[in-house]
Structure 1
Amino acid sequence: MNHDYYQNPLISRYASRQMAAIWGDQKKFSTWRRLWVALAEAEAELGVPIAEAQLDELRAKVDDIDFVAAATYEKKLRHDVMAHVHVYGDQCLRAKGIIHLGATSNFVVDNTDLLLIRESLELLRERVVSVIDALSNFATEHRDLATLGFTHLQPAQPTTVGKRATLWAYDLVLDLQEIEHRLATLAARSTKGTTGTQASFLELFEGDHEKVAKLEELVAKKIGFDNIYAVTGQTYPRKVDHQVLNTLSGIAASCHKAATDIRILAHRKEMEEPFEKNQIGSSAMAYKRNPMRSERICGLARFAMSLETSASATHATQWMERTLDDSANRRLTLPQAFLAVDAILSIYHNVASGLVVYPNVIAKNLNEELPFMVTENFLMQAVSAGGDRQELHERIRQHSQDAAAVVKQQGLPNDLLDRLQQDEAFAGVDVAAAIDPQSLVGRAPEQVDAFLAEVIAPIREKYGTGSGGEELRV
């Protein structure tokens, strides 16, 4: 690393080497060359006079890229694609004249991006599956551990720790479906020509429309696509980038939501992310155990979510057959969105695989709010014993208000249960049964079981447990 210049933290600190390699120069420009080989092969198969020796020469140099020479050519020509055409031609003298035959720059640029997007989505699919699996294991372990539920971030009806984890997992299940949809609908640009009309290829094949259509099909199959975008301008529809970054933004949002929940639960001392033996929580406060990984997830997620707006704006401003203001923007947004989400999911897997739960604190926090939670049980039992529902409801309301005032104004413990037990209207209530937390979580444990059987089991059967990513570097 050169420490004199800014380095992108997504590469130096956060994302995996796998994702960084997908968007690296070697992968990109080797793919350009593979596309030129595929084009030449298809043209030869359709009768263009290209010798097998020329194809062999091109194939032999696919990965042998002289980046210094390419930079020199680009400085002179001010055109990155032509720079690499010249470098490839210098290495393949016999094939020099047939490289890029009939193609426009976006033949290599766009088809390469589509291939990189596909490979990146496949890697993220593994990452998403691995987090789903880790959260599902956690949900299984804590399926019936009663905990205080929250709506509006205010105490609400109890749930279970495992049920809450299924909410985090289900968001990612929906994201997984989106990834699959994007992969299923991703197609090749193939050989559409300069403005999408294929005029140059029609000229190459002397007006033979069938050969032009066959060329498009052959090249797409050679690069691994069964489908081709029906119509394009000079580029594949930039709507596709918007759709892809929208999917990545959705994954980031799911991770941000869960990481925020974990941060709140850490504040309540109910749950913590993994904390290593020598990890320092604060440079000043030695006792601190900050949820730094969850915070990092949130920080990276906000960045990833923000990139979707660039894709939508780029799509909106592609005048007529295309404008070049997409180029610089896409060089930043496409790779960085994938790198950021890759990092987010790797960190999330690390957190989800090592979450620490504190049942005693959870029980303490639940018990502090439990008197308010059990009032409905008191009401139902008292009515069953012959009481008047409306009168009993009013008594509970008054007792609740008085107990709340004691808690909020005097800072004393919640004495609502004592008040209700001393009220003769509730003399027939079985207090022990009414205040059992497990009686208040509804079907949460059974919902966990059903979710694991009906949603998670098929995912595990189809994908296995996925890949959690590399060990965290920081």
Structure 2
Amino acid sequence: MITIDTKSYKNPLITRYASKEMSYVFSDENKFSYWRKLWVALAESEKELGLDITDEQINEMKENIYNIDFEMARKKEKEVRHDVMAHVHTFGNQCPNARPIIHLGATSAFVGDNTDILQIKEALEIVKKKLLNLLYVMSEFALEYKEMPTLGYTHFQPAQLTTVGKRAGLWLQDLYFDYNDLIYVIENLKMRGTKGTTGTQASYLKLFEGDSDKVNKLDKMVANKLGFESSYYLTGQTYSRKVDASVTKVLSGIGQSLHKMTNDIRLLQNLKEIEEPFEKTQIGSSAMAYKRNPMRSERIAALSRFIINTSHNTEDTASVQWFERTLDDSANKRLSIPQTFLGCDSVLEIAINIFQGMVVNEKVIEKHINEELPFMATENIIMEAVKRGGDRQDLHEEIRVLSMEAGEQVKKFGNKNDLIERMIKSDKISLNEKEILEIIDAKKFIGRSAEQVDVFYNEAIKPLLEENKDLLGMTVELNV
């Protein structure tokens, strides 16, 4: 029988929302194996630069990278009240030959901060993959519906027409901005490196008997072994917490974009124009059996607010650090950085799922257009009638009166908008039914919407999708 712990709090980001892939990035196994990889890289580099370290010691360390005795580390940390030294002793116990040279010349931030950077890089690559997949499914949607007219809304009041695809293109463009910001952060992320206790590299300078060139090479070699070209030029004991703020700012930006998008989707679902996927066995309400609630979009909105607000922690932390470091960053970082990534991972997956099954109700959209377009088309009808010899002032007055009458039918009696029929019957408007209907063809009111979508896709989206085609092809199913 499986025993389920029902007496301890479990983070819903792990149990309900985020992927196992992202959860693993911030797991103890991944974190502490990175610590050991860093100790191996440090020992290898120190050996290559002439220190008395043997291949046997390095191989022993490599063989035990994933062989972590977490129970011993837990007991040791309780004894010494220092997580890094607890794991130094644990690793040394498993690697007795290498024990004397583990963590040689390093400070706690060597494993702590460098591991933070390694986890951040790994998590950013997952965000990149999922954001690209979202850009793909959204661009497919925008292209499919680029020519389908729909009411535009300003102040959530009917405005000039746009298209379903053009509106989706606006959502897509926000995420394209976020993608560019993401790539900038990924490309400029560096290791903290081998900088010593206050960032001066004094311990390594002593270790290499004053050979500054070797100290500089050590810093670069360790970074290279962990997949980075270099480390930051300057650090205190820690890398600048501005780095964390720049990372979570990108995640917050994704949250902002998706929150705005799902606001629109929720409003459109209320209008019955667009609906997110709804499973055959899905229940919208425990009381109202007919309900089809936009649960996915609402979940994105909730999690996006969490991302946006949690990201402020890194900004606050960057601003309150003292001198070369203070420890008031540590507990906050343990919470805010993983959870911001977990939240971002969640909303990206949900958004992909929405666009893999979005429903567009074309007839409802047409109905809403027909309710408003006659009013919007009156200026075009006046101009065409004037070209046929009509008096602009007389036409304006006639259409004003007819518009008021039609508006009264809609607002006072709940009838359909019959302005077109009234204009066709009017003796004062020198246009027949066919001519008036041609003027009010909805596709004549969408401007360059379709062309704008094509240009944006071909010049901005398509190149980056082709460049990263090996990352595409995700399908997402929600667990709950």
TM range (shorter): over 0.9
Match of 1:114 in 2: 117
Match of 1:158 in 2: 161
Offset at residue 446 of structure 1 (A): 2.1
Query: In structure 2, how many angstroms separate the alpha carbons of the residues matched to 1:93 and 1:297?
Result: 50
Offset at residue 467 of structure 1 (A): 5.2
Segment drifting more, 140-149 vs 284-293:
140-149
Offset at residue 428 of structure 1 (A): 3.6
| Cα gap change, 1:393 to 1:29, in 2 (>3 Å) | farther
Deviations 1:416-438 (A, max 9, x none): 33454455553247211121111
Match of 2:76 in 1: 73
Q: Greater relative contact order (Cα 8 A, min sep 6): structure 1 or 2?
A: 1
| TM-score, normalised with respect to structure 2 | 0.94
Match of 1:331 in 2: 334
C-alpha RMSD of matched pairs (Å): 1.8
Match of 2:284 in 1: 281
Match of 1:299 in 2: 302
Query: In structure 1, how many angstroms separate the alpha carbons of the residues matched to 2:257 and 2:202?
Result: 45
Query: In structure 2, how many angstroms separate the alpha carbons of the residues matched to 1:370 and 1:155?
Result: 9
Offset at residue 136 of structure 1 (A): 1.5
Query: In structure 2, how many angstroms separate the alpha carbons of the residues matched to 1:55 and 1:288?
Result: 63
| TM-score, normalised with respect to structure 1 | 0.96
Query: In structure 2, how many angstroms separate the alpha carbons of the residues matched to 1:228 and 1:412?
Result: 70
Segment drifting more, 412-421 vs 24-33:
412-421
Q: Confirm or deny: 8 A CA contact 1:128 1:466 kept in the other structure.
A: no
| Cα gap change, 1:396 to 1:459, in 2 (>3 Å) | farther
Q: Percent identity over the alignment?
A: 52
Offset at residue 14 of structure 1 (A): 0.6
Offset at residue 48 of structure 1 (A): 1.3
2:137 aligned residue (113, 118, 134): 134
Q: Are 1:222 and 2:241 counterparts?
A: no
Deviations 1:128-174 (A, max 9, x none): 11111111211222221111111111101111111111112221111
Letter in 2 for 1:288: K
Letter in 2 for 1:451: F
Give unmatched runs, 5+ long, in structure 1. Answer: none
Structure-to-structure mapping, 1:374-385, within 5 angstroms: 374-385=377-388
| Cα gap change, 1:91 to 1:470, in 2 (>3 Å) | farther
Q: Are 1:212 and 2:215 counterparts?
A: yes
1:28 aligned residue (12, 27, 31): 31
Deviations 1:427-470 (A, max 9, x none): 24721112111111112122222233222221221112625365
Deviations 1:7-59 (A, max 9, x none): 00111011111000111110000000000110111111111111111111111
Offset at residue 266 of structure 1 (A): 0.8
Q: Confirm or deny: 8 A CA contact 1:127 1:469 kept in the other structure.
A: no
Letter in 2 for 1:466: L
Offset at residue 393 of structure 1 (A): 5.0
Match of 2:466 in 1: 461
- Equivalent position SS for 1:296: helix
Letter in 1 for 2:453: V
Query: In structure 1, how many angstroms separate the alpha carbons of the residues matched to 2:241 and 2:402?
Result: 62
For this pair of structures, how many residues does the alignment match?
474
- TM superposition outliers: structure 1 runs of 4+ over 6 Å: none
Query: In structure 2, how many angstroms separate the alpha carbons of the residues matched to 1:433 and 1:265?
Result: 28
| Cα gap change, 1:24 to 1:389, in 2 (>3 Å) | farther
Offset at residue 352 of structure 1 (A): 0.5
Match of 2:104 in 1: 101
Query: In structure 1, how many angstroms separate the alpha carbons of the residues matched to 2:77 and 2:413?
Result: 75
Give unmatched runs, 5+ long, in structure 2. Answer: none
| Cα gap change, 1:284 to 1:59, in 2 (>3 Å) | same
- Equivalent position SS for 1:53: helix
